Structure 1
Amino acid sequence: MSDPVLLRRWRLALGRYADRSLPAHGMSGAERRADRALDYLYAREMERRGLRRSRSDTGRSGSLDPSQLTPLGWLGELRDLFPLSVCETVQAHAIDTLGMRELLSDPAVLDALEPNRDLLKALIAFKGAADPGMREKIREVTRKIVEDIVRRLRPRVEAALAGRPNRFRRSQLKSMQNFDWRGTIRDNLKNWDAERGVIVADRLRFHGRSRRRLPWTIILCVDQSGSMLASTIYSAVMASILTALPAVEVKLIVFDTAIVDLSSEAHDPVEVLMSVQLGGGTNIAAAMEYCETLITQPSRTVFVLVSDFEEGGSVSHMLAATRRMAAARVTMLGLGALSDDAAPIYDRRMAERLVASGMQVSALTPDRFAEWIGGVIA
């Protein structure tokens, strides 16, 4: 390769360990800063694998030595040098993949991190090991991220659960979606202009929208084992949105091998997430048997199991609980876990056995899940 631009890009991708073949002295000042910022993170992983810095590395000038960077200074360099999407990707690598936990141990650094879903996952996973002085800061940052998720998700959920047009009630909401063209023509027939062959409409009519009164109990039974972090976050958010619906009672149960009833906190997703204890085994059967005790009106109850369906307890007891609730006319929904890129990651064979026992099973994003519930309680 003779293209100098391409050579410099390869040097940035490969890092200090390509110095012999692709020396850094051909880089611009900005490229050297980018090299140093990337090296601060990724060289750690290479050293962990047994690769050592060469003597030429240790002899670098002080201005290029990555060891001079602090976590806070490194974050500042990332923002100056790279677009936001790259910053978020590198930040996620630092926390999730490369174990750079010092980013979560300093309040000033925590304030400087980009507040996004990856950071939220890291905070929830890390909170149990955090110093007492950091827990309030973790709660503060968690609330900021969760409120942003709720703000973006709530309109889509509410739209999915909104009532159908009511053709017997007029509306003050003037939109083409609600336009009653038959009623408008009927009210304006007196304004027929024979010369032009048109109706002059001086009065428009619109359909109202009926607001569902939903006398339902929705039980969210959420697996909080280690593989379920992303699903746990969205379950907490969905519970808070559902609690705001009229005439809907939400029960929120989280479980691994223990069972915790967080129904009283369901309106506050931050409190729910600060309460969950990720990890441990999975006893779906015990959680379902507990949820059975919460059912008072089976035909008006939606039971939602959010899990990867990898049962660590008694499979026969889990399937028996499913059959009992289905026989009592409880609406049974199984929501399979999704990866960060929305790929299903659950035990399909167990899901098939649950379906055979009376549960509907799917793997859906939160807005699609809201449409699913909306179809049930319509």
Structure 2
Amino acid sequence: MTDPQLLRRWRLALGRYAERALPSSGLTGEDQRTDRALDYLYAREMEKRGLRRGKSGGKGGSLDPTSLTPLGWLGELRDLFPQSVYETVQAHAIDNLGMSELLSDPAVLDALEPNRDLLKALIAFKGAANPAAREKIREVTRKVVEEILRQLRPRIEAALAGRPNRFRRSQLKAMKNFAWRETIRDNLKNWDSERSRIVADRLRFHGRSRRRLPWTIILCVDQSGSMLSSTIYAAVMASILTALPSVEVKLVVFDTAIVDLSSEAHDAVEVLMSVQLGGGTNIGAAVEYCEGLAVQPTRTIFVLISDFEEGAPVGRLLSAVRRMASARITMLGLGALSDDAAPVYDRRMAERLAGCGMEIAALTPDRFAEWIGARIA
């Protein structure tokens, strides 16, 4: 290859391990900074594969990753890359390559760009964080959750409201609701003496309110690590649903233990700071617990958000779902609740749950809201 730009791109892509064939001396000053910043992160992955991190060709001092600190490295990324690339590299550092030192220093946390990838990493890491870092994690979590709510709330509320049916006649003005006494009183001023009648230009009707029982929506959320994205959106959805009139939200998270977070359902940040990722999975026990929360079964919606990877004997789970179906509880099993709705789940178990009366799906938050809205309308 003789094209200088092509050589430059290959050198930046391959990093210090191509130093012998593509020396960094051919890079500009800014390209050398870029090379060093990328090496700080991606050389760690190469080291895992058995490649040594020694200095390259006797000239590697400028590329030595130890010359950068996490905070200084983040500053370099901001200077060198556009925002979208910066966020991608940051996500690789935290999520894929395990640079947990980025999350252990409050000053570094201040420098991180709040986004959803960062939120996932923070929720996974928070259990190991020191108190100072944990408070910073809470601050960042709140910023990201507020941004998700800002984007989602209008779509969710519109989906829950549904579209008005222009062809459905209102029953409020039916003759059985006609308030004749009030109509006469309001129109006495319109007495027509020649025809001896009142010309009513304003009709009055009684409002007829129909008493309806409230709905209970139970969100039962698997807090295993593979369900982290869905856990975040479940917490956000719970906070939105709690604002609905005549709806009571129950929020339960589980692994082998069961934690009822219903009292915190209105606050997605508090929920996310409470979840504990990892551990085994006992879906049957969690479903049984939620079964006990259904006071009015026919006015209850039960949503199981899980990969359906049951760690306990499956008989308990299937029996609980059958009982809930017999009680006419509306049930939905979500393999994913996220922007991409791309689930990785136990399909055989999902089929068995469907056979017991549970609808199975993977939905984006707004589609989930439409599903809820169609059932509580």
TM range (shorter): 0.7 to 0.9
- The answer as to 2:104 corresponding to 1:102 is no
User: Where do residues 90-239 of structure 1 align in structure 2 (5 Å cutoff)?
Assistant: 90-165=89-164, 167=166, 215-239=214-238
> Cα–Cα, structure 1 residues 221 and 250, in superposed 2: closer, same or farther, change >3 Å?
same
Aligned residues: 334
The residue that corresponds to 2:182 in the other structure is none
State the alpha-carbon separation in 2 of the partners of residues 317 and 2 from structure 1.
68
More off after superposition, 367-376 vs 272-281? 367-376
- Whichever residue aligns with residue 333 of structure 1, its letter is L
CA–CA separation in structure 2 for the residues paired with 1:122 and 1:48: 21
Which stretches in structure 2 are left out of the alignment for 5+ residues?
171-211
* Counterpart for residue 30 of structure 2: 30
Distance 1:340 1:50, change over 3 A: farther
Note if 1:50 corresponds to 2:50: yes
Equivalent residue of 2:89, what SS? helix
Contact 2:20 2:57 in 1 (8 A): no
Tell me which structure has the larger Cα radius of gyration. Answer: 2
Decide whether the 8 Å contact of 2:337 with 2:365 is kept in 1.
no
- Percent identical: 80
Q: Is residue 60 from structure 1 mapped to residue 52 from structure 2 by the alignment?
A: no
SS in 2 for 1:160: helix
Alpha carbons of 1:166 and 1:352: their partners in 2 closer, same or farther (altered >3 Å)? closer
Say which SS state the counterpart of residue 60 (structure 2) adopts. coil
In the alignment, what sits opposite 1:286?
285
Distance 2:370 2:147 in 1: 21
Deviation at 1:368, TM superposition (A): 1.2
SS in 2 for 1:79: helix
Q: In structure 2, what is the Cα distance between the partners aligned to 1:19 and 1:339?
A: 42
Distance 1:137 1:214 in 2: 42
In structure 2, the partner of 1:75 is 74
Q: Distance between the aligned counterparts of 2:224 and 2:132, measured in 1?
A: 26
Q: Is the partner of 1:321 in helix, strand or coil? A: helix
Cα separation, 2, equivalents of 1:164 and 1:56 = 65
Counterpart CA distance in 2 for 1:345 and 1:95 is 22
Distance 2:132 2:358 in 1: 45
Q: Is the 8 A contact 1:326 1:332 kept in 2?
A: yes
1:300 has 2:299 as partner: yes
Q: Which residue of 2 aligns with 1:360?
A: 359
Distance 1:53 1:130 in 2: 28
The letter of the residue matching 1:15 is G
Specify every segment of 5 or more residues in structure 1 that has no aligned partner in the other structure, as ranges.
170-212
Shift of 1:139: 0.7
What code does the residue aligned with 1:17 have? Y
Question: Residues 225 and 53 (structure 1 numbering): CA distance in 2 closer, same or farther, change over 3 Å?
Answer: closer
Q: Tell me the distance in 2 between the aligned counterparts of 1:341 and 1:245.
A: 26
Cα–Cα, structure 1 residues 216 and 55, in superposed 2: closer, same or farther, change >3 Å?
closer
- Distance in 1 (CA, whole Å) between partners of 2:35 and 2:246 is 57
Residues 305, 334 of structure 2: 8 Å contact kept: yes
Deviation at 1:113, TM superposition (A): 0.5
Structure 2 CA distance for aligned equivalents of residues 117 and 19 of structure 1 = 36
Partner residue in 1 for 2:268:
269
Letter in 2 for 1:45: E
Q: Is the Cα–Cα contact under 8 Å of residues 120 and 229 in structure 2 kept in the other structure?
A: yes
Partner in structure 2 of residue 7 of structure 1: 7
TM-superposition CA deviations, 1:113-146 (whole Å, max 9, x none):
1101111011111111011222111111111111
Write out the 4+ residue segments of structure 1 that deviate beyond 4 Å after TM superposition: 166-169, 338-341
